[in-house]
Structure 1
Amino acid sequence: MSQTTHPDTRIGHVHLRVADLDRSIAFYRDVMGFELQQTFGDQAAFLGAGGYHHHIGLNTWESRGGRPPAPGSTGLYHAAFLYPDRAALGAALKRVLDAGVRITGAADHGVSEAVYFDDPDGNGIEIYRDRPPEDWPRGADGTLQMTNARLDLAALLADAA
């Protein structure tokens, strides 16, 4: 018999190895909109939203001056940042585009709307918003029927707060 995780369990934060701490702080603060909460000398930084101690940890302990993993390597595919609604997601997308970040993908998954790009170290980033569970597409047997449809970025930007 398998054990199940408590339904209120959430991923609390992501901690990333980066090559250049100042560059990464600038990206997550100025582009992503997180607030710098604390630095640990010139080796680590912690950023959060809404005064939270940190959603993102950045460090150069084993990676200062390093290169992103080669394509085809194992590791983090992407870190996903959940926004509370479509307007907040649109505003986040606008900041990303205004900073000149290249979008690598966007999709309407039926249960969520998501936009994908990379941080300066090549770490994959997803920004998304969930639809209410009662609006999730389901089959006749009740199973989720997620999709990978085109997301209209212009409409998302128009809905920005």
Structure 2
Amino acid sequence: MPESEFVAPAETRIGHVHLKVSNIDRALEFYRDLLGFQITERMGDSAVFLSAGGYHHHIGLNTWQSANASKASQNGVGLFHTAIVFPTRKNLAEMLQRLHEKGYPLTGMADHGVSEAIYLDDPDGNGVELYWDRPRAEWPQKPDGSLRMYTRRLDVNNLLAELL
């Protein structure tokens, strides 16, 4: 399939994710209490908006069509994961240590060349990637100069050394 002639502006970004959850309070225990996002607005017991740093919202959670629903299917169509980027490698290391201290189960960890990532599921089975981007100058490239991402084992000890 040929590439589109239209190209999105370089400054384009994805602003937030809005998730259907089965229980607002349980979702808040994950996104607010574990990951550290702050509530910017709450709409009764049916919706809440959270952010980091005072943005209007990075994460929306609602039960409008999903109250008490079962977990997201691993084998169905839908969101693979929400990716949350941390500003520094040390921030990612701090989060990994926090998850370990809280005993929260991880589904994976990886070095992608361009980034290092930790994977887990929220209480509704929605995949979450926590990561930091390496500086662009360090991104691996193919001989033709195009990007060469990969998936390799994350060096956890090296990541946690950021905390020393």
Quickly name the TM-score band, shorter chain normalised.
Answer: over 0.9
Once residues 112 and 160 of structure 1 are traced to their aligned partners in structure 2, the CA distance between those partners, rounded to angstroms, is 18
Deviation digits for residues 32-52 of structure 1 (CA, Å, limit 9, x no counterpart): 111111100110001100111
**TM-score w.r.t. structure 1 length?**
0.95
Task: Show CA shifts across 1:53-82 (max 9, x none).
Answer: 110000000001001233311111000000
In structure 1, give the amino acid aligned to 2:55: Y
Equivalent residue in structure 2 for 1:60, among 63, 67, 70 = 63
* Residues 119-128 or 151-160, more deviating: 151-160
Q: Percent identity?
A: 50
Q: Is the 8 A contact 2:50 2:60 kept in 1?
A: yes
Kindly state the Cα deviation for residue 156 of structure 1 after the two structures are TM-superposed: 1.6
Query: What are structure 1's unaligned runs of at least 5 residues?
Result: none
Aligned counterpart in structure 2 of residue 122 of structure 1, from 125, 129, 133: 125
1:84 positional shift = 0.7
Partner of 1:96: 99
Residue in structure 1 matched with residue 149 of structure 2 by the alignment: 146
- Where 1:72 maps in the other structure, the secondary structure is coil
TM-score when normalising by structure 2: 0.93
Match of 2:38 in 1: 35
| Unmatched 5+ stretches in structure 2 | none
Within 5 A, what are the aligned runs for 1:126-137?
A: 126-137=129-140
Q: Bigger shift: 118-127 or 62-71? A: 62-71
3-state SS of paired residue (1:159): helix
